A and B are shown apart, each in its own frame.
Chain A
């Protein structure tokens, strides 16, 4: 009896403390002046309006918490159709140096047309005498229909947006082909497979020890990559390994050879991990680390990253029993980009392992509204 009363007292005390903490948090509506939109004078998009929606900030202890939920409207002021836009979203007061961006691929914005960009950001920074805006939004790049590009490209958004656009076209053609050849039931089956892709739990990554250190800690082993080969890929994977300990992987190192005729300036390798049942999951991509890579025809280069990840599936640590690598993206010196074709994915059973492309994601969302909606979309020219 006494224990019950004490328990209730503690419970009400807890509720009281939580309530007081809520009051002390002093949450305040974020004014639109706290957000600065910074576009170059010759930008192909113009900023029209900013709706701060439910943006708020609060002082908690020694920190300021900013919850930005802003809806921007922009206009295409260029003479070309816009197919993608990437914005950098930064806070000058954050001292740890992180970067954040939002990209809208698969746009089709005609000249003069207005389009929205929705930015939802959460920021915690030390209390400071802030005299400027809390959040600054600037343009990193705009991709046009003809793959021409405008912008400072500090985040390499040109290469990413071109690759995403190519993957989207590839996957749209794939689903159209299924509808044409197999009809509605085949499309439905493909959509169900699409929605049942095996995924690892949400990723967490840290910087591991320097990759130059070959020493293995206790319990660690060096695991070699097996490679999937695409006959038409401009580069081939020669060798590679990473350090594995239980469900932790770190320090991937990969060697690639340019087997084509064009010089290559960027390579990205998909990194699959295998569980004890032999099922594979995409862990990460491993991009070439050299910012000024010039991999000419016939040459070989090795690159390494110092990231460290713990992998789990359905809340359980993943017992890593093998690793596979495949070429997922290549950028040539002339700016052209290569991504695996539909045939590459089907012949190697990679289609159901890779994360959905922007188009696959969009089509899946349409399928949730009904098969008719999806069919109507795919029947558009």
Chain B
């Protein structure tokens, strides 16, 4: 008999956000159809994701309180884990879960909240910021990120400009509107 291989927590978290690749998404969905435990865990991730999405924007996040709550959650999780180790009877529950499940759920929640916040406000990408004109527009890029303005297909003469203060621009007659259009990107 072959043991069931459950998806990792990270895979379930990504599945909850629809961020898995199509093949992994299909495999996870297939597993979820026949695994109640993972379905419950997915539901928890989806709940947390909703909470994260509804959180206020960066300036309003009470970081200190959040950190304190996260620490408290971790302590609670560890305490629950210890309880599950033998001090409490197997039937004892925390927030409706039995001991090891409570510890797992709280630890998972903590990880997901932290991951959600990190993904929502990712660290600045490493590497040199580059301004460049490409075949179809201008862009500023750094690491794997880029932000660019493009001239649409069918644009005729394009003229480029650069400012040593850190910007490049292009001018062209837009084929859709017929207007002279000047775009610019800067660091």
Contact = CB atoms under 8 A, between A and B. Distances in A.
B102 to A, nearest CB: 25
B147 interface: yes
Contacts of B53: 129, 131
B130 A203 contact: no
A62 interface: yes
B179 A285 contact: no
Nearest to B170: A202
Interface residues of B, number: 65
A89 to B, nearest CB: 7
Nearest to B131: A205
Contact of B156 (A283, A355, A368): A368
B98 interface: no
B151 A365 contact: no
Nearest to A204: B132
Given A122-B148, A124-B145, A203-B162, A97 B187 contact: yes
B8 interface: no
B162 A285 contact: yes
Contacts of B122: 95, 126, 128
A302 to B, nearest CB: 14
Interface string B129-149: 111111001011111111111
Nearest to B178: A365
Contact of A126 (B17, B144, B168, B174): B144
A120 interface: yes
A119 B141 CA distance: 19
A68 B184 CA distance: 16
Interface string B159-187: 11111111010011110110111111111
Given A206-B128, A207-B129, A355 B174 contact: no
Given A91-B147, A103-B184, A129-B119, A283 B162 contact: yes
A98 B19 contact: no
B85 interface: no
A95 B124 contact: yes
A106 B179 contact: yes
Contact of B183 (A59, A101, A116): A101
B172 A361 contact: yes
Contact of B180 (A26, A195, A203, A358): A358
A98 B161 contact: no
A117 B173 CA distance: 12
Interface in A43-85: 59, 62-63, 69, 71
B187 A98 contact: yes
Contacts of B130: 204-206
B152 A118 contact: yes
B150 interface: yes
Contacts of B144: 62-63, 124, 126
B152 A69 contact: yes
Given A26-B22, A195-B157, A356-B171, A100 B149 contact: yes
A327 interface: no
Given A105-B180, A307-B166, A361-B180, A123 B119 contact: no
A100 B184 contact: yes
B162 A309 contact: yes
29 contacts: A69-B152, A71-B176, A91-B147, A96-B140, A96-B187, A98-B187, A99-B147, A100-B183, A101-B184, A106-B180, A118-B176, A121-B148, A122-B146, A122-B148, A122-B149, A125-B145, A126-B119, A129-B49, A203-B132, A203-B162, A205-B131, A206-B130, A287-B164, A307-B165, A309-B164, A355-B159, A361-B159, A361-B180, A362-B180
8 smallest CB-CB distances across A and B, nearest first, come from A202-B133, A98-B140, A305-B164, A284-B162, A96-B142, A131-B53, A307-B164, A120-B150
Interface of B: 17, 19, 21-23, 49, 52-54, 116, 119-125, 128-134, 137, 139-152, 156-157, 159-166, 168, 171-174, 176-177, 179-187
